[in-house]
Amino acid sequence: MTPGWEHFEHQADIGLRGVGRTPAEAFEQAALALTAVVTEPERVRAAERVEIACEATDLDLLLVDWLSRVVCEMSARRMLFSRFEVRIDGARLAASAWGERIEPARHEPAVEVKGVSYLELRVTADAAGVWTAQCVADV
């Protein structure tokens, strides 16, 4: 099983889906899907590290909080991220995100992500133990 991400259609917004061998890996892939809404992740150099932490009562809410924090860091720091390392311990998430300041000419940002919603929200494992983490981003 190779970790991965994809977008899915959802009316005027865009669905984010991360798949991995663990919840943490699925969360990392969902964050890459978030970056890919704005630009191709391959265009973003992993030059600067940013620490992100959050806490929630369950994995579904933790996913929304995690992606909301990534959106907040992107906006506040005017950065894009191309690499994520997530650690989940019960209700707590601690992560590192690597990226760089936005360079419009090189990154060619398509849209700005305004936030993350609870629409289509789910964090689940299938019978084979493959984790999926998904929700919808407001663009």
Structure confidence by residue, pLDDT tens digits, 82-91: 999 999 999 9
Task: Give start and end residues of each alpha helix (H) in 58-110.
Answer: 59-77, 104-107
CATH number assigned to the domain comprising residue 62: 3.55.10.10
Task: Name the helix (H) or strand (E) containing 28.
Answer: helix 23-38
Q: What is the mean pLDDT of residues 109-127?
A: 94
Q: Which residue has the higher pLDDT, 4 or 58?
A: 58
Query: In which domain, by residue range, is 94 found?
Result: 4-138
Q: Which residue has the higher pLDDT, 5 or 54?
A: 54
Tally of domains in the chain: 1
